[in-house]
């Protein structure tokens, strides 16, 4: 199992290498999607999140989106043409939020996190991403500070 310090050192090692950053984040997200889609209890957590959630990590040239429909989660790299809301990160900010060193909401209010589109979908985006990464942490035994 990965503990919090191991996960943090993996994330810290990603800042200097865009290719490694994309590869590792992509594998983490794919693992989370598979976990959620094959676990009934976790799929139930998707209720109310129907929509498309677009993320841009600008300095890594990495874009991805989630689509939630019928309690199923879909993930693809790239840009979804119908995403009603988008969130724009730097690698450093993305990792700090994953490590819970920063709050996405706080960073948005300080102007360090850009968003675009329907803000009501933005609230769902925030809740969805918190839920998604919380599930990953629980899977890996990292359930401290929840």
The pLDDT value given to residue 140: 57
Positions of the chain with pLDDT under 70: 1-9, 136-146
The pLDDT value given to residue 5: 58
CB-based contacts of 145, cutoff 8 Å, min separation 6: 100
**Could you give the 3-state DSSP secondary structure of residue 91?**
helix
The pLDDT value given to residue 84: 92
The pLDDT value given to residue 1: 40
Q: Is 117 exposed, middle or buried (0-12, 13-18, 19+ CB in 10 A)?
A: middle
- Cα of first residue to Cα of last residue in the chain, in angstroms, is 18
> In the structure encoding, which two tokens stand for residue 61, read together?
């040239």
Q: What is the pLDDT of residues 70-80, one digit of tens each?
A: 889 999 999 99
Report the candidate in 57, 95, 93, 51 with the shortest Cα–Cα distance to residue 78.
57
| Residue 29: alpha-carbon gap to chain centroid | 7
The pLDDT value given to residue 146: 40
- CATH 3.30.70.100 for domain 4-139: no
The pLDDT value given to residue 7: 62
The pLDDT value given to residue 87: 93
Compute the chain's Rg from CA coordinates: 14
In angstroms, the CA 35 to CA 87 distance is 24
**Count of residues making up the chain:** 146
The pLDDT value given to residue 63: 96
């Amino acid at each position: 199992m990965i503990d919090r310090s191991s996960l943090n050192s993996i994330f810290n090692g990603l800042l200097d290498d865009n290719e490694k950053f994309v590869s590792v984040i992509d594998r983490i997200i794919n693992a989370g999607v598979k976990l959620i889609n094959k676990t009934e209890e976790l799929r139930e957590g998707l209720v109310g999140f129907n929509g498309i959630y677009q993320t841009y990590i600008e300095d890594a040239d990495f874009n991805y989106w989630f689509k939630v429909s019928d309690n199923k989660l879909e993930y693809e790299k790239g840009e979804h043409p119908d995403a009603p809301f988008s969130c724009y990160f730097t690698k450093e900010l993305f990792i700090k939020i994953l490590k819970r060193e920063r709050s996405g909401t706080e960073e948005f209010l300080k102007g360090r996190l850009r968003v675009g589109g329907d803000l009501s979908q933005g609230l769902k985006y925030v809740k969805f991403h918190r839920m998604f990464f919380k599930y990953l942490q629980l899977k890996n035994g990292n359930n401290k500070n929840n």
